[in-house]
Structure 1
Amino acid sequence: MASKKSPKSVSRPHSSGNSLIPWLGLATIVILLDQVSKITITKLFAYGETLAVTGFFNLMLVYNKGAAFSFLAAESGWQRYLFTAIGLIAAAYITFLLKRHSSQKLFCWALSLIMGGALGNVIDRLLYGHVIDFLDFHYQELYHFPAFNIADSAITIGAALFILDELRRVRK
């Protein structure tokens, strides 16, 4: 008579309950929100067109061939490949960190937002050769903060959460 294995004897892969899936899901949501917003703005606005929303905020379609604050934007085009490579390498390293530290919630929130934002901008560089920016904050029309997008916002929020996580870790 053949013996049946009891449910306790079935071997299962070791799992600590930590998963990479929620963190990749969060990064995917950031990418989707970023890309939908950019597609929408490019359908509704011509390049350089501005819509005043408040006394300190405009929607304005502009392109950035560089990095943050248009760093290296005036170069001949090689920067597109450099920033694309940096974004892809960063995403791969962040995936490694997310897998390794998936139970550290604030740390993983920070990394997921940064990765989603980086990949959102990488997609722009691959598809268009530049990043689409459209959020324009200003003071009395005299001082304009450089235009940015949802991907940039996610990177900034992620960086702030990363700093907060590090400060909390140092206190312990």
Structure 2
Amino acid sequence: MATKKIFPTKSSSSITPWLGIATLIILIDQLTKITINKTFQYGEEKVITSFFNLVLAYNKGAAFSFLSNSGGWQRYFFTAIGIGAAVFIIYLLKKHSAQRMFAWALSLVLGGAIGNVIDRLLYGHVVDFLDFHWPGLGHFPAFNVADSAICIGAALFILDELRRVNK
């Protein structure tokens, strides 16, 4: 009678920790958005430092408000892209879960993508609230925790690829 492995060996990897990281990103993202939605009126801004404000902003488009004034179809388009990306990322995590930096990058992008998909499904727009600005240069477009996770994940992809190329 064959015995089942209850605990995976060190050589095998699971996607569970990576999905846990993505879930943590989703939770932090949604909790911060709920907090901002409950404590701010749309467009309200609170100065925190000379270069950072909290503000309640809505983005019906994608990054940097791309296609935000396109009549509403973009909500479904970006929701579909987010869901498709999440499915593909889970596939990649199953295939490459032992590659730590690559899996970190995938997990961060997965959590961010799902966080923004949740917003599109619940509200019809993405809730943004982090507003950085520099005197004389103006305001960077407002963003959120999900966007931050996606950007950090993208940076890790680049770093991982540079490391791979240099080997």
Check whether TM > 0.5: yes
- 1:139 positional shift: 1.2
Identity of aligned residues (%): 67
Distance in 2, Cα, partners of 1:34 & 1:145 = 19
Residue 18 of structure 1, aligned match among 13, 17, 24: 13
Give the structure-1-normalised TM-score.
Answer: 0.92
Partner of 1:110: 105
What TM-score does the superposition give when structure 2 sets the normalisation length? Answer: 0.95
Structural mapping, 1:17-96, within 5 Å: 17-96=12-91
What residue number does 1:168 align with?
A: 163
Runs of 4+ in 1 over 6 A off after TM superposition: none
- For residue 47 of structure 1, give the secondary structure of its aligned residue in structure 2: coil
Per-residue deviation, residues 42-96 of structure 1 (Å, max 9, x unmatched): 1110000000000000000000000000000001100000000000000000000
In structure 1, runs of 5+ residues without a counterpart are none
Distance of 1:167 and 1:12 partners within structure 2: 36
What is the root-mean-square deviation in Å for CA atoms of aligned residues? 1.6
Output the CA distance in 2 between the equivalents of 1:12 and 1:155. 35
Equivalent residue for 2:140?
Answer: 145
